[in-house]
Structures are given as C-alpha cells and as structure tokens.
Amino acid sequence: MFNEFDTLQAGMLVMASAVMLEQNFRRTVLLMCEHNEEGSVGFILNRPMEVTVGEAVAEFEGIEAPLHMGGPVQVDTVHYLHTRGDVLEDAMEVSPGIFWGGDRQHLNALLSAGVVQPEEVRFFLGYAGWSPGQLEEEFSEGAWYTSEASREIVFTEEYERLWSRVVRSKGGDYCFAANSPELPGMN
C-alpha cells in the first residue's frame, strides 16, 4: 500500500509516513520541486517559523510574510514558491500555477509595488534534499507517501492540520495512518 516511489515526480506532494520519527520530517508535507537522476529537492510546507521574511532577510525588509523552515539543507539560503510566474522572470513552473524561484530583485520590486501580494509567495529557509537513490531507498522503507499538489494546499495557512488532511484525502488505509498518534508508543 505505501510504496509509491514509482509515481514520484516534480510538482507532487510528499508526506512523511505515519511511522517517520526523524525530527526534521515528522508529520511534514513537502512540495517536490526537482526529482531526477541527480537527486531531489523539495520544501516543507507546514513548518512556519516565528519570524517574518522582512525580519530575517534584509533585502525583503518590510515584507510581513512568514518565513518557513524549508528543510535541513543549506539553512543559510532563502527560496520561494509563488503563484506569479506570469510576472516574475526566470520562475520555473513545478505544478500547474505553482512556480519555484525567479529573479529575487524583481520579486522584491513586485512585492514593494503591490503587484505581487505576500500571500502569493511562500518563503523558505533552506530546503530538503536527497542524493541520487536516497529518496528511492526511503520510499522502499515506507517512510513517505505521495499525493497531487494544488495551489490551495501549497499556500494554505492551516499548518497544524495539513499533514493529516492531505494523508486522509488519499482514502482507504491512509485514513488510519492520518489518525494515528504522532508518537506510536503513545496510543
């Protein structure tokens, strides 16, 4: 039931399985932005930090959007997903209507001018990354589930319930996984 690696591709959601206890990923939902023979890159969607982008990144001063912990890799870098590939140069569409990156100075100018609204952008500190074959091995061990991504899920502010909501939406036995206790020994 839980081996879904064959369906994984950029633009999909990847959720930590109910048995994933690794602290960086327990009960996380990620958007996979790159998945190929060189490895995989994604961003954790449900780990907001208690700081805004403007407070943490000098070039985005005044931007009140929350900063999210994107993953444990290169936590000294800032990345962003957005819905405005129509106006932001060099953005890569990873799923219909969901874009990754683009010209940072241009994004700052668009935000400052009000052309792009803060809720149309999700900022991340660091990212989640896997070397070639690493994620495939984790899938074979039952560590991850997959699902289709949507703008509504990627840009939601319902962080606390996101994991159980997305896992439950898969139906069947996944409903049991979504309702399992966070720490299996605590049932």
Neighbours of 45 (CB within 10 A): 26
Q: pLDDT tens digits for 144-156?
A: 999 999 999 999 9
Compute the distance between CA of residue 43 and CA of residue 64 in angstroms, rounded to an integer.
Answer: 20
Q: pLDDT tens digits for 53-75?
A: 999 999 898 898 899 999 999 99
Q: Which residues contact 82 (CB under 8 A, 6 or more apart)?
A: 88, 91, 98, 99, 102, 107, 116, 120, 121, 122
Q: Which candidate, 4, 45, 25, 41, places its Cα nearest to that of 136?
A: 4
Q: pLDDT tens digits for 64-113?
A: 889 999 999 999 999 999 999 999 989 999 999 999 999 999 999 999 99
Indicate the pTM of the whole model. 0.91
pLDDT at site 179: 66
- C-alpha Rg value of the chain to the nearest Å: 16
pLDDT at site 173: 75
* DSSP labels, 83-109: S-TTTSTT-EEEETTEEE---HHHHHH
Query: Which domains are present in the chain?
Result: 5-186 (3.40.1740.10)
Percent of the chain topping pLDDT 90: 69
Q: pLDDT tens digits for 125-150?
A: 999 999 999 998 999 888 999 999 99
